[in-house]
Amino acid sequence: MKKIQGAIIIDIDRCKGCSLCVEACPLNLLHIAMRKVNIKGYPYVEQINEMSCTGCANCSIVCPDACISVYRKKCL
C-alpha cells in the first residue's frame, strides 16, 4: 500500500511540448500526447497511469513554462 498519493494538473494551453518533464519524471508517468495539439499548435504533455503519481514535483520544477501544479496527500 502506497503511503503518499500525488496528482498533477497540466495547463495544456501553456504547454509547449518540450518534454523536459517527461525526462524528469522518475516513474515515467508523462508522455507527449499523440496527434493532439493545444490552442497554440504545440503538442502537449499528458499523464498516464495517474494513480501511480507520488507528487514528487520534479515535473513542475523543471517545467520552463510553469504549466504543472502538483498536489500531494498522505494515505490514511
Q: Which residues bind other proteins (CB under 8 A)?
A: 5-7, 9, 11, 13-14, 16-20, 23-24, 40, 42, 50, 55, 57-58, 60-67, 69-73, 75
Cell, residue 24: 524528469
The answer for residues whose C-beta is within 8 angstroms of residue 9's C-beta and 6 or more apart is 68, 69, 71
CB of 75 to other proteins, least distance (A): 7
CB of 54 to other proteins, least distance (A): 11
CB of 71 to other proteins, least distance (A): 4
Are the C-beta atoms of residues 47 and 8 closer than 8 Å to each other?
yes
